[in-house]
Amino acid sequence: MITGSETETEQAGEQLARQLAPGSVVLLYGDLGAGKTAFVRGLARGIGADPDEVSSPTFTLIQEYAGSHATLHHVDLYRLEPAEIEDLGLDDLVEGGSIVAIEWADRWPGRPRRAIDVRIAAVGEHTRRIELNIPD
């Protein structure tokens, strides 16, 4: 899909969130500024959490947002080395029953088999191409 604004990118995340069940894993790929965090704001809104609380967890690494339909864990692997990612306990987190959204997922070699891939690319100043790969 193509979005023409940050709001539309958030709406794409919100639409996906309404289809997710607890235990879902969303792996986000894209360059800096592509819109990964905006997409996660939409995921938060879609589960009934406050999207205004969503910020990039670059320094906190993992943020938790409690929604009326589920809990969302938002992970950012951008600043981590492979050994640090291994020590983060992502396997335990994804088995914990929350929805987990991981930015910079290409840095995690332990990708779950049933994860949803979201690839976001800037194709203009405000325009984004979002590709979803949802396993059967």
Span 104-115, pLDDT tens digits:
999 998 888 899
CA dihedral 35, 15, 25, 86 (to 10 degrees): 20
* Residue 64 pLDDT greater than 80, yes or no: yes
By mean pLDDT, which of 6-10, 78-82, 129-133 is the weakest? 78-82
CA distance 123 to 115: 25
Range of the domain at 60: 2-133
Query: What sections of 27-134 are H helices per DSSP?
Result: 36-46, 82-87, 90-94
Mean pLDDT of the chain: 92
By mean pLDDT, which of 2-16, 27-41, 89-103 is the weakest? 89-103
Position 109 scores a pLDDT of 85
Position 131 scores a pLDDT of 97
Task: Give the total number of structural domains in the chain.
Answer: 1
Q: What is the pTM for the complete model shown?
A: 0.92
Give me the DSSP letters along 37-57. Answer: HHHHHHHHHHTT--GGG----
Span 80-91, pLDDT tens digits:
888 888 888 898
Greatest Cα pair distance in the chain: 38
Position 58 scores a pLDDT of 66
For position 16, which CATH number holds? 3.40.50.300
